Amino acid sequence: MKIAIAHEWLAAYAGSERVVEQILKLYPEADLFSLVDFLPDELRSFIQHKPVTTSFIQRLPWARQQFRKYLPLMPFAIEQFDLSAYDIVISSHHAVAKGVVTRADQLHISYVHTPIRYAWDLQWQYLEQAGLKRGVKSLLTRLILHYLRLWDVTSAHRVDCFVANSRFVARRIHKTYRRPAQVVYPPVAVQRFRADRPRGEFYLTVSRFVPYKRVDLTIAAFSQLGLPLVVIGDGSLRASLERTAPSNIQFLGHQSDAVVVDYMERCKAFVFPAEEDFGITPVEAQAAGAPVIAYGRGGVTESVIDGKTGLLFATQTVEAMVAAVEQFERHPTAIAAPLIRQHAERFSEERFCQAFQQLVTTQWSKFQPGTAHDWASLS
């Protein structure tokens, strides 16, 4: 089998890139395609220092710093990749990657981190954050998002098999594309963490400071609780939140992986207020033996067992988070670190590779010419 991997953009090493990293470990001879490649030299090891075929967006003005602003061109750009030499195409999709064009005798498997959220369920939040609720720019942006939705649904028909990173995303795939999706949870490097270190008295949250992450909720709750909280991360909202936070809340800004691991291994509990498609950090915290106190919506409901590996609160409010933390404070040792760690191992890199390779093998055996199969049941 000749395999191609299509990814949206290579500019950092985050959740979707970790999936690509593990797929490349499974298929080291695969060729890699990406709209742009601006990875610094020190991060290129996760793609095995492979050459990357990029699109014309790579060469457009200011693309290195502003490539996301070329979003209206991305559907067209992704369709320009010539993938005719490959038997299997694997797209790593959260914006446009599933839109690559393949022939009828090529198997296209799309691993979906999320349907393009700012064109669908987060449209109004996106417009509000960008200050685009009114005016000519708002109208133009809405027209672009309308076009993206039409293209997004149309290009879904090019995929032979959808794979979702959670049941939550599988449901969104069905809602958006009316297609079924198999679930393969994303890989988490659980082996980086120890679960046997003494736990401290501080709570921890690790997040980008962007609105949907709801760091403001955590700050408000712990301002009311008066309990020690360590906040790791950076972003546009950090300065305003830091100015109003009381002394029991410590902001560390962006930190290295080693520092994050250290704090996760020692925190009393990990706080996660966001609604995420899956959420890597709650699983990492559990790998470190830390209970997770989280908003009970989204992928976290599949990675945290309420009452056994953490506590889930039902509404995304300060009052609900305060009540959950107070409940945890009454019985902080009721949730055992070894059980939490054992649960986290369900999401290891090894489990991902095993499940994903089995899926590819099964789909390819169904797909090959001459094999008796029902085309409608491939997914």
What pLDDT is stored for residue 373 in this prediction?
Answer: 52
The percentage of residues in the chain with a pLDDT greater than 70, rounded to a whole number, is: 97
Give the Å distances, CA to CA, from 371 to 89, 90, 157, 364, 376.
19, 21, 22, 10, 14
The token pair that represents 299 in the structure block: 């992928």
What pLDDT is stored for residue 126 in this prediction?
Answer: 81
Question: Which CATH number belongs to the domain containing residue 156 in this structure?
Answer: 3.40.50.2000
What pLDDT is stored for residue 196 in this prediction?
Answer: 92
Q: Are residues 325 and 362 in the same domain?
A: no
Q: Are residues 158 and 18 in the same domain?
A: yes
Q: Are residues 12 and 148 in the same domain?
A: yes
- 159: DSSP letter: -
What pLDDT is stored for residue 371 in this prediction?
Answer: 56
What pLDDT is stored for residue 122 in this prediction?
Answer: 81
For 122-165, what is each residue's pLDDT tens digit?
888 888 877 888 899 899 999 999 999 999 999 999 999 999 99
The token pair that represents 63 in the structure block: 């693309």
Q: Are residues 287 and 357 in the same domain?
A: no
For 86-129, what is each residue's pLDDT tens digit?
999 999 999 999 999 999 999 999 999 999 988 888 888 888 87
Q: Are residues 179 and 216 in the same domain?
A: no
Q: How far apart are CA 235 and CA 54, in angstroms?
A: 28
For 274-315, what is each residue's pLDDT tens digit?
999 999 999 999 999 999 999 999 999 999 999 999 999 999
The whole-chain average pLDDT of the chain stands at 93
The domain of 312 spans 190-346
Q: Are residues 87 and 182 in the same domain?
A: yes
Q: Are residues 327 and 195 in the same domain?
A: yes
With contact defined as beta carbons under 8 Å apart, do 188 and 281 qualify?
Answer: no
What pLDDT is stored for residue 127 in this prediction?
Answer: 84
Q: Are residues 153 and 39 in the same domain?
A: yes
β-partners of residue 307 are none
Q: Are residues 92 and 139 in the same domain?
A: yes
For 231-262, what is each residue's pLDDT tens digit?
999 988 888 899 989 999 999 999 999 999 99
The token pair that represents 107 in the structure block: 């198997």
Question: What does R_g of the chain's alpha carbons equal in angstroms?
Answer: 21
Who's near 12: CB < 8 A, 6+ residues apart? 39, 43
Q: Are residues 127 and 227 in the same domain?
A: no
Q: Are residues 198 and 337 in the same domain?
A: yes
pLDDT band at 212 (very low <50, low <70, confident <90, very high): confident
CA angle 200, 262, 189 (to 5 degrees): 125
Count of domains observed in the chain: 2
Who's near 195: CB < 8 A, 6+ residues apart? 265, 287, 288, 289, 337, 338, 340, 341
What pLDDT is stored for residue 1 in this prediction?
Answer: 86
Nearest partner of 116 among 80, 160, 68, judged by Cα: 68
Mean pLDDT for 337-365 is 96
Taking the chain, what is the end-to-end CA distance rounded to the nearest angstrom? 20
What pLDDT is stored for residue 362 in this prediction?
Answer: 96
Q: Are residues 177 and 307 in the same domain?
A: no
Q: Of the given ranges (169-173, 211-215, 343-347), which has the lowest mean pLDDT?
A: 211-215
